[in-house]
Structure 1
Amino acid sequence: MRDALRAARAEAAFKQAIIDKLTHENAILKRLKFAAQSERFSAEQKSLLDETLDSDLAAVAAEIEGLQPSRAAGERQQPRRGKLPAHLPRRDVRHEPENTTCGCGQAMQRIGEDVAEKLDYQPGVFTVERHIRGKWVCKCCERIVQAPVAPHIIDKGLPTTGLLAQVLVAKYLDHLPLYRQEAIFERAGHAISRSTLAQWVGECGVQLQPLVDALTAELLRQRVLHADETPVAMLKAAGQRDGKTHRAYLWSYCSTQFSPLQAVVFDFADSRGGQHARGFLGLPGTPTKPAWQGKLVCDGFTGYKACFELGVTEAGCMAHARRKFHELWANHGSQVGEQALKFFGQLYEVERTTASADSAARLEARQTARPLADALHQWLRQQRQRVPDGSATARAIDYSLKRWVALTRYLDDGDLPLDNNWVENRIRPIALGRQNWLFAGSLRAGKRAAAVMSLIHSARLNGLDPFAYLRDVLERLPAQPASRVDELLPHRWSPLA
C-alpha cells in the first residue's frame, strides 16, 4: 500500500507539473491575444496570427482537460451557442435502444426524445444532422431506456466529423487559411467565425496526436529512411523586436518507394540544428528506447553528421551530386559538366530498367553499374587535378569525391534508392502552403501543422482520399482503444462496411 501511495503521489505530482506548465503557456497565449501589441502587422498577418493563437489556446485547454481528474457531467462547463439557422436543410439520424423490452417482460413505451443538432458540410452545402434519441419507459418498473450519446472528437461539439475533416484538409492540404474558409462558409449560407474554426483545429490536433505518434513508431521500424528539411517562417517570441519572424524548419522523414510501408512524418522545429534529427531518430538511445540504426538517405547537410557518428549509416543522394554538374553545364556551358552528366545518365538508366523489380533483381542489375561508377570516380579524380582550387568546377567535383562511399552505397543494397528525390517530392507541396500561410504563428502551431500533414500526405501516398480518411478517423477515434489505434493508420485503414 505504501508503494502504491508513493506511485500515486509521484503520478499526481508529475501531472500537476504538466498542468502548471500548460497553464503558464495558456496565460502567455492569452496575453499575446488580448494585450496591446507594440508590433504592427498587416490585416492579413493579424488574421493569421489570431487564428493561430485561438488554435493554440484550444489545444492547451484540451490537454489540461485530459490531465485533470474526471468530473461529473453536471460539473462540466456547458457550451453556449445559438440555434442553427432554420433555413438549412436537416437530416434526421435516429438512435434507439437495441431492446425495448423491460427486464420484467413488459414492452416499453416511447415517452419522448432528445434532439441534438450538429452542423455538417458537403463542399458548398451546409446541412444539419438532427440526432434524435428516443426515450422509452416501462410503466411497470418506472425504468427509462435511451440510446447513449455517441462519443465525439469534440465533446458536445457543434460540427460533424465531415465538417472538421473539411476544415483540416482545406487548411493543411489545400492551403486555405481560416479567414478564407470563413468567407467560403459564409457564401455557403452559414457564417462560422475564424476563432471558432481555430478552436476546432486546435482540439483536433490534440486528439490526432496519438495517431501521429503511432505512425512515427511504425516509420522508425524501417531499416531505410529518407530525410530532408525545408524552411518555414515562424513568429518570434514576445519581446524579440529585431524582425517579426525567424527561420524555422519542417523536417521530413519517409519510407522509400521500395518499402511496403508508404508513410511520411513531418517534424516541425525552430531551427535547422542537427539535434532535431537526432531527437526524431532517438539518438543516442536509451535502454528503454533503442536508437534507430538504419540507413539514412539524405543530402550533404552537416546537421546529419552526428547521426552517422552514433551508428546511423549514411546513404548519399546522387541527384544532389548530379545537380552540381548540371549547374556548370546550364550556366557556363562547361564541358566537364556535360561529360559528368553523361556518366550520371548511364547510372540512372540502369535504375530505370529495375524500377518495378524486387530487391534481389535490383541488386543484380546494379552490379552492372559498378564499372560505370568506378569509371566516373576515376574521371573525377583526374579532372580535379586539372582545375584550380576554389573554382565552381572544383567545388562540384569535391562534393562527389568527399561523399563517394555514401553516394555508391546503393550499389550493394537493393533496398537503397539512388537519390533523395522521393522525400523531396513529399516536401514540394509545402512550398505552396508556405506562400499561403505566410508564417507559423508559434512552435505549437507548427507542430500541429506537421502532425496533421503527416496523416494527410501519408493517406495520399496510400491512394486514399484525405477527406474520406480523416472524416472516418475522426468518427472512430474517440471510441478506439489505445492499444488498437494503429488500425487507423493510413496504410492499414479501411472504411467501415
Structure 2
Amino acid sequence: MTLKPSDLPSDLASAYLALLAEREALQAERDVAVADAANARAELSDSEVLIAHLELRIEKLKRELHGQRSERTARLLEQLELELEELATTATENELAAQAAAAKTQSVSAFTRKRPVRKPWPDDIERERVVIEAPRTCACCGGSRLAKVGEDVTKTLEEIPRRFKVIETVREKFTCRDCEKISQPPAPFHATPRGFIGPQLLATILFDKFGMHIPLNRQSVRFKAERIDLPLSTLADHVGHGTFAVTPLFQLIERHVLAAERLHGDDTTIRILAKGKCTTGRIWTYVRDDRPFAGPAPPAAVYYASGDRRGEHPQKHLAVFGGILQADCYSGFEPLFDPKRKAMPITPAFCLAHARRGFFELADIEKAARDGQKGKPVSPIALEAVRRLDALFEIERAINGRSADGRRAVRQERIALGRRNWTFAGSQRGADRAAIMLTMITTCRLNDVDPKAWLADVLARIADLPTSRLHELLPWEWKLLRQANPTDQQAA
C-alpha cells in the first residue's frame, strides 16, 4: 500500500517501527507464497507417482494379455519400476518440504499424499507390547484418582536379525475421577512420520540399496518371500523419509571435508534416466584422508551427482575450498588453479598414474630394442623415475594379468557394483539421493564404523537432538561416544 507524504512518520523511531511492520508483512506474504509453491510441487509429484504407477500396471497387464516375454519388455518393466521408485521418493520429500513451509504460516494447510491402505501383518509375527508409563497424577488438577478409559496402539514393524516383530506401542488413556479430564502420554518419535517401519529396518533398507546396491524392487521381492508385504512404492516412500532425515549430517560432513588442507578428487559415470532417454551423468567424490600424514582430522568423503561432466560442477563443489587438490588432468579442474580465482586459489597435486606415462614411454626398453638404430636412446633418468614410481603402485602388480574390465573393477569397485545393479538412476533427484547416502556410508567405512548400526541409531535419535548437538552423530564422534559408553554401543 502506497502512503501519502502526509501519512509518513515524522520521527526516526516511528519510521523504524513502520519499516519493521512492513518487513513482517512482506515476510508473511513470502511464507504464504513459498508454502503455496511447495504444496503445488507436492501435488505435482503425487500426480506423477500415480501416472507412473498406472503406466506400470498397464504394461504388466499388456504383458499378461499378449504373452510378451521379450528381453525388451522385461527391461521396460524394470525401467518403469525404477521410475516409480524415484517419483515416489521425490513425492515424499516434496510433501515434507510442503509441511515445513506450511508450518511457517497459518493461512496455508500442508498437502498430504493419499497412500494405499496398509495390509495387516501376519498374525504369527512376534508381538512386543511396550506400555508407556502412565501419569500418576492428573495434568489438569493434580488429582491422583485416575481410571483407565482406553488406549491407543501404534504398530511399528521392526527388524531383528533373521526375523521380524511388530512393536505395539501403547498409550493408555486415563480420566480423572475428580475433574473428569482425560489424559494420555504423548506419542513417541517415529523415524518416518505416519510410517510403520522402525529405524533398524529402515537402516537395513537404506544400507541394502546404497551400501549393498540392492534395488528396492529386489528388496520388495525378498520381503515378500519372508511373508512381509512391502511394495516398491512403500519402500521408496520410506527411502525419501530416511534421506531427508540425514541431510543435515550430509551438510556437516560436507563442511568438514571442504575445510581440509588437501583433498583427493575423482569422478565416474552413472546413467541417469530422463524423459524418453537415458543420459550419462557423473558421480563426483572428494575425500579428506590425512591418515598417511599422521593428521589428527578424521577421514571423510563427500559425493555429488551431476547430469554431465562440465567443468562448472567441480567449480561449484569446491567454491569454498582452498588447499591442495589431487586429481587427474581433467580440464574442468583448470579454472580452480587460476591464481586470479576470486576465491582462494587451489594448488594442484597431479595424479602420478598420469604423470608416469611419459616416463614409461621414455624408458620403454623393449620398444627401443625393436626399433634398433632408429629408436631413441633409453633415458637413464626415465629408468630411475620408473623404478621409483613403480614402488608406489603395488596394487598394479596385485591385479597384473587381469582384463581391462577386471582392473577397472578394482579401481571403481563400489560405484561400479552399484552402477551395474541400479542399471541407472531414475532421475537427477535419485542421483542426488545416491550421493547423499554414499557420503554417509563411505564416511562410516573410512572411520571403521558399521554403516547399518550407525544409520539405525541416527534415524532413531536425530529428531530429538537439537541442532547444536547434531555433530555427536557424525560417524567419528559417534564411534568415540560408543567406545566411552559400551552400554550404548550394545544398544545400538
TM-score when scaled to structure 1?
0.73
> Gapped runs of 5+ residues in structure 1?
239-243, 283-290, 353-423
- Of residues 275, 279, 290, the one that matches 1:246 is 279
Q: Given the superposition, is the C-alpha separation of residues 73 and 47 from structure 1 closer, same or farther in structure 2, using an over 3 Å criterion? A: closer
- 2: CA distance, partners of 1:162 / 1:172: 15
How many Å apart are 1:198 and its aligned residue?
Answer: 1.2
Task: Specify the alignment match of 1:440 in structure 2.
Answer: 425
Secondary structure at the counterpart of residue 492 of structure 1: helix
Code of the residue aligned with 2:417 in structure 1: it is: L
Task: Specify the alignment match of 1:396 in structure 2.
Answer: none
Question: Could you give the per-residue CA deviations for residues 116-165 of structure 1, whole angstroms, max 9, x where no partner exists?
Answer: 11111234322111112222333123233322111223112111011111
More moved, 102-111 vs 122-131: 102-111
Question: Could you give the per-residue CA deviations for residues 242-263 of structure 1, whole angstroms, max 9, x where no partner exists?
Answer: xx31210000011023342211
CA contact (8 A) 2:441 2:451 kept: yes
Q: CA RMSD for the aligned pairs?
A: 3.5
Task: Specify the alignment match of 1:8 in structure 2.
Answer: 28
- 2: CA distance, partners of 1:247 / 1:327: 32
User: Given the alignment of the two structures, is residue 165 of structure 1 paired with residue 206 of structure 2, yes or no?
Assistant: no
Q: For residues 274-285 of structure 1, what are the structure 2 equivalents within 5 Å?
A: 274-282=311-319
How many Å apart are 1:331 and its aligned residue?
Answer: 12
Task: Specify the alignment match of 1:346 in structure 2.
Answer: 388
- 2: CA distance, partners of 1:141 / 1:127: 39
Task: Specify the alignment match of 1:306 in structure 2.
Answer: 335
Identity %: 30
- 2: CA distance, partners of 1:165 / 1:263: 20
- 2: CA distance, partners of 1:2 / 1:117: 48
How many Å apart are 1:49 and its aligned residue?
Answer: 2.8
Secondary structure at the counterpart of residue 153 of structure 1: coil
Code of the residue aligned with 1:116 in structure 2: it is: T
Code of the residue aligned with 2:208 in structure 1: it is: A
Secondary structure at the counterpart of residue 179 of structure 2: coil
More moved, 300-309 vs 8-17: 8-17
CA contact (8 A) 2:138 2:146 kept: yes
How many Å apart are 1:302 and its aligned residue?
Answer: 0.6
Task: Specify the alignment match of 1:464 in structure 2.
Answer: 449
CA contact (8 A) 2:250 2:436 kept: yes
How many Å apart are 1:68 and its aligned residue?
Answer: 2.2
User: Given the alignment of the two structures, is residue 45 of structure 1 paired with residue 74 of structure 2, yes or no?
Assistant: no
- 1: CA distance, partners of 2:379 / 2:46: 56
Code of the residue aligned with 2:269 in structure 1: it is: P
Q: For residues 397-408 of structure 1, what are the structure 2 equivalents within 5 Å?
A: none
How many Å apart are 1:83 and its aligned residue?
Answer: 2.2
Question: Could you give the per-residue CA deviations for residues 42-73 of structure 1, whole angstroms, max 9, x where no partner exists?
Answer: 33333333322322232223322322237899
Q: Given the superposition, is the C-alpha separation of residues 61 and 340 from structure 1 closer, same or farther in structure 2, using an over 3 Å criterion? A: farther
- 2: CA distance, partners of 1:331 / 1:458: 43
- 1: CA distance, partners of 2:48 / 2:410: 37
Task: Specify the alignment match of 1:318 in structure 2.
Answer: 352
- 1: CA distance, partners of 2:445 / 2:89: 25
- 2: CA distance, partners of 1:305 / 1:248: 20
- 2: CA distance, partners of 1:140 / 1:74: 39
- Of residues 227, 231, 239, the one that matches 1:193 is 231
* Count of aligned positions: 412
- 2: CA distance, partners of 1:185 / 1:132: 26
Task: Specify the alignment match of 1:114 in structure 2.
Answer: 152
How many Å apart are 1:191 and its aligned residue?
Answer: 2.2
Secondary structure at the counterpart of residue 181 of structure 1: helix
How many Å apart are 1:22 and its aligned residue?
Answer: 5.6
- 1: CA distance, partners of 2:113 / 2:76: 36
Q: For residues 219-238 of structure 1, what are the structure 2 equivalents within 5 Å?
A: 219-238=257-276
Task: Specify the alignment match of 1:484 in structure 2.
Answer: 469
More moved, 442-451 vs 149-158: 149-158
Task: Specify the alignment match of 2:119 in structure 1.
Answer: 82
Secondary structure at the counterpart of residue 264 of structure 2: strand
How many Å apart are 1:10 and its aligned residue?
Answer: 3.3
TM-score when scaled to structure 2?
0.74
How many Å apart are 1:319 and its aligned residue?
Answer: 2.9
Code of the residue aligned with 1:65 in structure 2: it is: Q
How many Å apart are 1:76 and its aligned residue?
Answer: 6.5
> Gapped runs of 5+ residues in structure 2?
1-20, 60-71, 370-377, 395-408
- 2: CA distance, partners of 1:341 / 1:176: 47
- 2: CA distance, partners of 1:350 / 1:313: 22
Q: Given the superposition, is the C-alpha separation of residues 338 and 123 from structure 1 closer, same or farther in structure 2, using an over 3 Å criterion? A: farther
CA contact (8 A) 1:229 1:250 kept: yes
- 2: CA distance, partners of 1:93 / 1:344: 67
- 1: CA distance, partners of 2:324 / 2:461: 36
- 1: CA distance, partners of 2:360 / 2:125: 59
Code of the residue aligned with 2:237 in structure 1: it is: Q
- 2: CA distance, partners of 1:296 / 1:349: 23
Q: Given the superposition, is the C-alpha separation of residues 326 and 347 from structure 1 closer, same or farther in structure 2, using an over 3 Å criterion? A: closer
Q: Given the superposition, is the C-alpha separation of residues 343 and 87 from structure 1 closer, same or farther in structure 2, using an over 3 Å criterion? A: same
Q: Given the superposition, is the C-alpha separation of residues 152 and 330 from structure 1 closer, same or farther in structure 2, using an over 3 Å criterion? A: farther
Q: Given the superposition, is the C-alpha separation of residues 22 and 118 from structure 1 closer, same or farther in structure 2, using an over 3 Å criterion? A: closer
Q: Which has the higher contact order (CA 8 A, sep 6+)?
A: 1
CA contact (8 A) 1:326 1:337 kept: no
- 1: CA distance, partners of 2:380 / 2:91: 56
User: Given the alignment of the two structures, is residue 69 of structure 1 paired with residue 103 of structure 2, yes or no?
Assistant: yes
CA contact (8 A) 1:33 1:50 kept: yes
